[in-house]
């Protein structure tokens, strides 16, 4: 038995446009329910922004905090706090203490809004409002400025729930959520924490988001808002069906063949650590990659990994009911995997439709492919694996 075997993943807390739990998301996908709504953002030149997958902004009563807390946060931090509350509210035991940690995937880094190298361009553009606007859209670092109080997400969660153990935060792309999962589980497996609250939040849909997505190669995929949280803890008396992180792999590939190979190697590493191979996976949850190059690389990598499998496992992503959730997306897939493993079921994408069927092999592969080339793959096992 490895240290990872003693850590169980429980208490899923998921907040998306489909609803406040994994079951609601599962049902929305199977029913083909349209959970998007008008975004209020200018449609041109971003057709994917006409509708977006928005969530209601949690208020003080929903979050069970004093209204003063809301004055030191913004929607993204409040989504994170609500996701943590959904998770820990279903824990069923005492929460918090000096050995309870917090691991977060966040879409924003705290840095200057405008690169110093852009200052000369700003001077030249000063006489033209259109030129100034174009410069800001081009030069603002990815996701910066969407949430300049991003650190309040960690501060408020730790304060509300008394989490004073080891902590870490990861930014800013989709791999951040799975990086938080891996390191949070390791902190428990290696004895640094007794338990770890693990979560990720997507960027709030905001006018600055779209030009920054565009700069990174966005293909027009519909953005969404949401938060995904769970708990990693040593629970020797957990039910046999409890899910564990069986293996993980991390890699980096900047572009082209290098990115494809990085994704494939991360998956193979995760499979080796889990003591299985391509034939031992019953369900694949790929990342909702929103650049053409990234999508091609992920598809080519999965084709290479599963080329020798007798039967290729079914695939599905939640994007049809959640939109693209940034760092929260792969972690939302993890929560969907927990839900499926608990019931012995999986979701299969069949064109535009999604159907439900038996999960015969209780082992799931989830992927995160950061837009700059960061890759993280995890293998999750149910108790019968």
Q: DSSP letters along 49-74, please?
A: GSEEB--PPP-HHHHTS-HHHHTT--
315: how many CB neighbours lie within 10 A of its CB? 16
Walking along the chain (385 residues) 10 residues at a time, the average pLDDT comes out as: 80 96 96 92 73 94 86 85 93 88 82 59 75 68 50 85 93 92 96 96 85 84 95 72 91 91 97 96 96 94 93 94 95 97 95 93 96 95 80
**Rounded to whole angstroms, how far apart are CA atoms 174 and 105?**
8
Percent helix, strand and coil across the chain, each rounded to 5? 40, 25, 40
What pLDDT does 146 receive?
46
Query: What strands, in cross-sheet order, belong to the sheet with 374-381?
Result: 244-252, 374-381, 363-369, 283-285, 314-315
Pair of tokens at residue 202? 């997507």
Q: Where are the alpha helices (DSSP H) in the chain?
A: 22-31, 60-63, 67-70, 75-89, 119-125, 129-139, 151-161, 175-189, 209-215, 256-273, 292-305, 319-322, 328-343
* C-alpha closest to that of 56 among 110, 17, 111: 17
Helices 328-343 and 22-31 pack at an angle, to 10 degrees, of 90
Burial 192-229 (b: 16+ CB within 10 A, else e): ebebbbbbbbbbbbbebbbbbbeeeebeebbbbbbbbb
Pair of tokens at residue 60? 């003080």
Burial 334-360 (b: 16+ CB within 10 A, else e): bbbbbbbbbeeebbebeeeebebeebe
Contact of 1 with 189, CB cutoff 8 Å:
no
**Rounded to whole angstroms, how far apart are CA atoms 12 and 23?**
10
What pLDDT does 367 receive?
98
**Rounded to whole angstroms, how far apart are CA atoms 352 and 378?**
26
What pLDDT does 241 receive?
57
Contact of 355 with 318, CB cutoff 8 Å:
no
What pLDDT does 14 receive?
97
**Rounded to whole angstroms, how far apart are CA atoms 31 and 26?**
9
Contact of 385 with 262, CB cutoff 8 Å:
no
What pLDDT does 120 receive?
72
**Rounded to whole angstroms, how far apart are CA atoms 308 and 121?**
53
* DSSP reduced 3-state for 16: strand
Domains and their CATH numbers in the chain: 3-112+142-234 (3.40.47.10), 244-381 (3.40.47.10)
Give CA angle at 370 (170, 77), nearest 5°. 40
Q: What is the CA radius of gyration of the chain?
A: 20
**Rounded to whole angstroms, how far apart are CA atoms 281 and 364?**
6
Contact of 153 with 106, CB cutoff 8 Å:
yes
What pLDDT does 110 receive?
44
């Amino acid at each position: 038995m490895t240290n990872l075997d003693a850590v169980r993943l429980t208490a899923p807390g998921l907040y998306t446009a489909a609803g406040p739990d994994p079951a609601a998301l599962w049902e929305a996908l199977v029913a083909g329910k349209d959970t998007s709504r008008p975004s209020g953002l200018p449609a041109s030149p971003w057709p994917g922004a006409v509708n977006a997958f928005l969530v209601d902004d949690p208020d003080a009563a929903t979050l069970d905090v004093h209204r003063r807390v809301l004055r030191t946060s913004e929607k993204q931090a409040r989504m994170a706090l609500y996701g943590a509350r959904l998770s820990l509210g279903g824990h069923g035991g005492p929460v918090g203490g000096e050995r309870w940690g917090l691991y977060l995937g966040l879409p924003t880094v705290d840095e200057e809004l405008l690169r110093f190298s852009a200052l000369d361009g700003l001077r030249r553009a000063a006489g033209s409002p259109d030129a100034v606007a174009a410069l800001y859209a081009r030069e603002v670092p990815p996701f910066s400025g969407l949430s300049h109080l991003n650190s309040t997400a960690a501060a408020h969660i730790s304060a509300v729930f008394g989490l004073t153990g080891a902590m870490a935060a990861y930014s800013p792309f989709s791999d951040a959520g799975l990086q938080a999962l891996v390191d949070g589980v390791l902190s428990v497996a290696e004895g640094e924490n007794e338990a770890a609250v693990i979560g990720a939040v997507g960027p709030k849909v905001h006018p600055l988001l779209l030009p920054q997505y565009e700069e990174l190669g966005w293909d027009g995929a519909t953005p969404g808002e949401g938060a995904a949280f769970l708990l990693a803890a040593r629970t020797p008396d957990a039910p046999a069906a409890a899910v564990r992180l069986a293996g993980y792999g991390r890699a980096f590939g900047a572009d082209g063949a290098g990115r494809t190979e990085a994704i494939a190697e991360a998956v193979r590493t995760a499979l080796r650590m889990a003591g299985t191979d391509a034939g031992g996976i019953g369900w694949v949850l790929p990342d909702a990659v929103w650049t053409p190059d990234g999508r091609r690389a992920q598809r080519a990598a999965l084709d290479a990994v599963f080329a020798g499998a007798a039967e290729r496992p079914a695939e599905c992503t939640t994007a049809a009911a959640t939109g693209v959730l940034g760092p929260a997306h792969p972690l939302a897939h993890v929560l969907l995997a927990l839900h499926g493993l608990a019931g012995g079921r999986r979701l299969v994408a069949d064109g535009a439709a999604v159907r439900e069927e038996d999960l015969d092999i209780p082992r799931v592969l989830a992927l995160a492919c950061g837009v700059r080339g960061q890759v993280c793959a995890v293998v999750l096992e149910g108790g019968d694996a």
